[in-house]
Structures are given as C-alpha cells and as structure tokens.
Structure 1
C-alpha cells in the first residue's frame, strides 16, 4: 500500500451507493431547503421547494438580493421562503475558526468565498429552530428529482448526512477537469451542492473556509465508508479554465482534500484517529505533494497530445495547470499538517458553539440570535410579509457547551 500518498482518480469506495433504494413511505420530511445564493435567478429551486411543499431558506449575497428573491417566491404558487441578506463582513456567532487564519488564506491565493459561512449559518439556524433535517442545494443545481429528494430525506432517518453527485456538468476542481480533458481517469464524488444533514445529530461538523469545504464536513463518514450517495443531480455548465487564478485559489484545498481522501481510500478498516495520525505527519504530505506535482506535470504532457479540441481550450487548460503548479510550489508539508491539526481543533470548538439540541426559537428570535437583521419571510399569497427589524433578541438558548464534549477525532 502507498498509505494514501498517490492521487486517486476515484473515491467511490468511500461511498455507500443507495441510489436504487426506494423512498420510505414513512420517513419524516425535510424541514427546509437551504440555498447559499450568490446568483440572481433562483426560480428552479423556488419551484422545486413549492412542488415538495418544503420551505426555502435563501442566504443571499453578491448578485442575489433578498427583495428580488422574495418577489419571485411570492409569484410562485405554493412557495414559502425565509430570505436573508448576509453582510460581506459577517462573522457567525462572533466565532473565529483557526482554519481561517492568514497562512491558509495566503496558501489559497487569497481566495474569498462566503459559501462555507452560509452553510454554517444553515446548520446553526436549523438547531435554533429545532429542525431535524435540512437539504443544502447550491444555486447552480438543476434537474433535481423529487423522488431523489424523498430518498435523501429518508436516508437522514438513519444517517447523519447523505449527498448526491453532479456528474453532468462534472463537479470537479480545475486540475481534475484538466485530467478529464487530457483523457485521464477522473471520477466525480458527492459534494455539498446537494447535501442532506440531520442537524439533531450529536456531533454535526462544520464547513471550513477552504476549497473542498464539503469534503472536510463529511470526512468522518467518508473515512468510515458510510457516506450515502443518493443519485445524481446536474450543475450548470461553466468554463473551468476561463481564469487561471481559479486553479490557484483551489490548489491548497484540493491538495488537502485529495491527500486526506487518498489516505482514507488506502486504509480500509482503520479508525479515524489512526488515519488522522498519518494525516498530521509531514512525511505523508511531503510524498503527496511530490506525487501531485508529478500528476499535474503528466496532465500537462497529456494535454499536448489531445486531438479534436480547439487550441484555445487546450491553451486555457495548460495555463490553469501551470498556475496550479506555481501555487503548489508555495505550499509545504508543515502547512498541511498545521491545517489538519487546526481543523480538528475547530471541529471540537464548533461543538461548543452549536446551539444545544432541543432548542426551539421562533424565526425572528433565531435570526436575532444570529445577528442577521435584513430578512424577509414570505410566501405565495401571504400578506403582509414578516421582515427583520434589527432589534436584539430577548430569547436565550443553551449552547452545546452545556453538554459533554464529543469524543476527539469524531
């Protein structure tokens, strides 16, 4: 065995594929569909939520504006939604994750994204509201089957998480897209793009602010080869090679996630604590960084031999790979070990931050606890709307620090 120091084209062995399992007629339904939105057109997901009679929670920033989204919800028969504007400088519960420290920001080519924060908001909001099941869906997902959503919801009766894969258009990093373009083997793993979470699980993890944040969120389940895959969805197509800086911003997170999951793939039967012991050794990351450098170089060579592709497409892919290599040159094994160690510390501190299970606040109380002051609660035919006032909440809730800590390494 290589002990996970080589790039793995497919991590399918870490999944438990239950795509063919029929939905249970007795499963409890979803409490909400949570959309971390940055794009303006959310009609597909508004329509899906109305069809399923499941309310939306839309967390808006960038091009997604709460007022515009609310107007669409109110114009869609059967739709209900809580639409929230998330400020660009928002800090969730005034809590700082160590994995957000500056060295990792620099290693990620100063990547700026609020996706992880929005997903973490969704987790905390669910606990505050007393919800059991939420479904995260990215704003570029479509052709999501109601049958698959029901199957996913049923799976959450038995599992802490369940997810779907986006194979068309493939949900991959820039480097992995280039491998596919070069004719090299490259699979697609499940992701946070369609991810169900049982938020009453005693040790719900968090999404770190790094590329592949979803892989870190469900890492413990992938390591145990117990992560349910519930069918496939489709993602809007885009050009992964349009901006070489995209590859640079992804490189650190892609290196970390691929290095961790290669270790999981190569160590069946190991306990997570033993896998993490390897993942916090500089030896592991030195070998994996060397292999990744070779893998990217091989992909560049293979691209040169590709036929039936335009010169522009090949040139863009090659530029992106070269930029990824330059970023990889700035990452050392010690930094990778530091991130993994801080990730585990962050996981433990997150258990202290999460509201205690059994908390049940009203919508307004929960948003005031979150210090999210610009929001609209709306629905088809509902008048008047409810809206955020920005007033501090008089409600109080118990945090998870009131209960025993989760075991280390969980």
Structure 2
C-alpha cells in the first residue's frame, strides 16, 4: 500500500517537478486539501507542481469511545479531563512524527513511479516541505545519503519550512553534497508551536549553517508563526532564495498569484459567495442545468439572472446540507465541499473517500454509484441528464439507512440529529453539479 497520494496541479509543463509535502494534521479532509493546494502559485511555466498528500493524522479526531471517556473525566474533574486529552494529543503527535520518518523513506520511490506514469520526461525534482512535511523530506534525504538510490531521479533543490526535526551539522553537510542544487531553510525563532516538539531542537526555530538559512519575518517586522508559511508561500520561496533556483528562468518573470486569489469571492462577507466551488460554477453553467437544480432543490427565486439564481441555489443547497440547529447557530448552511465529503462518508467506502484530493474525484464516486457506466452519464445531453436525475431522486437513489442493520439505522438517525441532514434530492443535485463541472472542464479542481 502506498504512503502518498500525488496530485499534479494544472497547468503543467516542463521537465522539473516541484513536490510539496504538508505537515502534521493537514490534508485530513477535502476542504483542508483544497486550502493547501490553493496556496500554491497559480502558474509556474516550465515546471510541474505536484502535491504529495500523506496520512499525517488529525489532532481533533478522536473516537466516540474516547470522547465519552474524556467527557466523563471532565464531568468529575475538568482539570484531569483536559490533562488526559492533552496527553492523548501529545501521544498522537509522537505517533505521527514516527510515521513521518517511515514514509519519508518511501517518498522518492513512490514519486518516481508516479512520474513514470504521468510525466516520464521529468528527471529533476525539487522537494518542499512544511513542519512534519520537512521531517518527511529530511528522512528522505537521510535514506538518499545512505543508499544513494534512484540515480535516475535527481533531487535538485530542497526547501524546508518550519521543519519539525533535528538535523546535525554532519547530516546537513551530507545533504548539501547529495543534492544538485542547494538546501534552503526557512525558520523562525518566534515559532512557538515547534516548542511542543520538546525532546528535539527543531531546526524550524534555528539556523543551520550548512544550509542556505533565512529567518522569516513579516513586513511589519514580526516573526513568522508556524501557520504563516502556507498562506505566504510565495514570500517564503522568494525570501529564502529558493524561488530563483526552483524555476527554469529568472523569477521576476513569474507571478506568485495563487489559485486561492483567483476570485474576490473568497474574501466576501457573504458565506454563500465564498463557496466558489459551487457558486462560481453555477454562474458559468448552462441555464437548463441551473433551472433543473432550482426545480430539484425547490428554490424560490423571483429573479432570473444567472448570478441571482446561482446565489439562491447555492444558499438552498447549503441550508439543506446543514443541520437545522447548526444552521441557526452559524447563521448559514455549510459549504459545498463540507457537504460533499460528509455525504460521501455516509454513503461511500471511507477508503475511497480518503484518497480523493479534488472535488471532481469525489463527485466521480457519486456518478459511479448512480450510473454503472460513468462515461455514458457524461455523454448524456442535458435533457437526458435531467430526466435521469429526476428518476434517480424519486426512485433510484439508495437510502443510507438501507445499508445498516436496524440498530445501525437508529444510531445513524441519532448522529444526524446532531450533525448534518441529507435529503435524497441533494444526491440528485450533486450529480447535476458533477455534470456541470465536467462540461466546463474547470481548472485546478478538475
């Protein structure tokens, strides 16, 4: 079983691959993976941006039995309960730290296999890692120095950002000799999060003389925090000196605009407009599909303009997908990506859902469940599609409860009272949305 799920971010081209590795408790759901990829430069001509996702855990995820245990402790003694929960999270971090060491030894082999299938002409790779992702890369480098493996895949440059790992001077010098380019090291002495890695002197908080080290600061003079690296990735690459060596031409020619900055809607105060994976798609989609969504979701909208209708349909989808009490508390529904993943975890094998990095991959699973021949589904004309979806909503959509035993159905219903409710018509809406996204051939998310 592979330790990494690789995804190349369009547009792609050139013979150099920049491989990004995330850190602890990151990339654990579709929304978080989207945000990570959204931090990457929108377009790097002459290079291929690849994200390497690995199971780095989720600091907030605990089993139902653990929740009950901590709740009971907290009822009797809040301090003891909080202490027990903190201890469990420290244990979880240590386990993920060990996993980072282990998966780092397989990174280059799995990456080479992926490149052979997707980009056989790539011979040079740059490795960029943050936090425990930096630890993954350090583990890779230790193994590379030791085994001198994969000579057909040359590691050109390495960029470590807030790396949660200790590296000796001897090791650092060996790493620099082993790569064709250089090892760039962005750190911050103000990174308090790395203090939690208490039994090691994390290089993310200090200079390493053998590396091209730079202490990161904001324009205001404030030091970088641990969570400042991804949102400021362009600045980190530029200030560390890595940017001009990662790209095949002078870095002044490239824009550091990211995918996440493609639209002002992400910064809009209206929660509906922020949902660019649905709202932006619906603005651009076919009027017949938009009307079909309006009909299936029973949307009331007096205005007929695409923008107004897209706003109303997005709002209705979010409200139907979110638990009623939760919506009252939040003041709105839930985002499309949250709804999609929650619906998928309820109806599809979790092992398949966890491997989906993009929205279109997850939507494709729903299409596959609904239609034995997904290719035929996407080949429908719009009238055929709408007829199929309406039949599916009324007669063909499988009930989640039918997949459980009697007790299982009761438990599922109880959980839904405190989480999210998904009417059958949301399944039909997802199918139409998947079809619309395929027709538009949306970049990045497809």
TM-score (norm 2): 0.28
- Bigger share in helix: 2
Structure number, greater radius of gyration: 2
The structure that is strand-richer by fraction is 1
Query: Scaled by the length of structure 1, what TM-score is found?
Result: 0.30
